[in-house]
Amino acid sequence: MSTGPDVSIVIPAYNERRRLGPTVRAWLDYLDGYPGTGEVIVSDDGSTDDTVRVAHDTAAGDPRLRVVTTERNRGKGGAVRAGMLEARGRFCFYVDADLNIAPVNVTAAVELLRHQCDLVTGRRSLRQYSREESSVVRVAAGAAVQALRRVLLLTHVADSQAGFKGMRADLAQRIFGATTVTSFAFDIEVLYLARRFGARIVEYPVDVTFRDESTYNVRKHLPPFLRDIVRVRLNALRGAYPPRGTDDEE
């Protein structure tokens, strides 16, 4: 009987023709040296450029690459959800398309998942982020997001938005079978559901390489971001999510 790979790497992508090629190549190169089997899943969120072609051309027929596509743009959360539900690995990760966190971090994260926890989430240095992020508006927007989610949902996670999260396959299926948010607030819903289901969460310190050309636009994305944090809280109060696990703390 055939089995799935050890690790799955899901990369959400929307109009990432310029940045995706080096990212896919870096992940496949990492898997070349990984002491196990792996797959890379590009989850294309209805791109209107050559994102899908770039992914296939970069892999050059490498069977470890799979591409999941949607007919329309739904948002980063929707793309991650589609990719994670397709993942076949024992440990499933989702990462950013700009390769701002190095692939090598997966090695240590897998060991944590094997022995200490059910979900690993990256924790960036706030000092480093503030120093390298040139936009004061983006820093302020990030602070507003973190403040609201601490008040309403998550008090025990220092950094909910790092583009590096990994979890056991069964937990991934359970979480992404229940998610509702497709905006950038999806990370917060993922972590909230993990705690709701009684998952053991470990924050893993990661270094971040600042990349230009971010797809996050404060004016466009911050209002739905904040609105969806409130939405997750309301979903919980209304009983819209599956029953809790062993951890009853919100």
Q: pLDDT tens for residues 156-178?
A: 888 898 999 999 999 999 999 99
The pLDDT tens digits of the residues spanning 82-120 come to 999 999 999 999 999 999 999 999 999 999 999 999 999
H helices present in 89-135, as ranges: 105-115, 126-132
Q: Which tokens in the block code for residue 111?
A: 């060991």
Which of residues 192 and 155 earns the better pLDDT score? 192
Domains identified in the chain and CATH numbers:
7-238 (3.90.550.10)
pLDDT category of residue 247 using cuts at 50, 70 and 90: very low
For the cut 60, the answer to whether the pLDDT of residue 15 exceeds it is yes
Give me the pLDDT at residue 2, please: 52
Range in 56-60, 72-76, 210-214 the model is least confident about: 210-214
Give me the pLDDT at residue 173, please: 98
Is there a contact between 116 and 168 (Cβ–Cβ < 8 Å)?
no
Q: Which of 35, 165, 166, 21 is nearest to 89 (CA)?
A: 166
Helix H or strand E encompassing 187 = helix 186-196
Which of residues 111 and 228 earns the better pLDDT score? 111
Give the whole-number percent of the chain exceeding pLDDT 90: 70
Q: Which tokens in the block code for residue 20?
A: 């995706």
Which strands form 119-123's sheet, in the order they lie side by side?
A: 65-69, 38-44, 7-13, 91-95, 164-168, 119-123, 201-205
The pLDDT tens digits of the residues spanning 120-160 come to 999 988 766 555 555 666 666 777 777 887 777 777 888 89
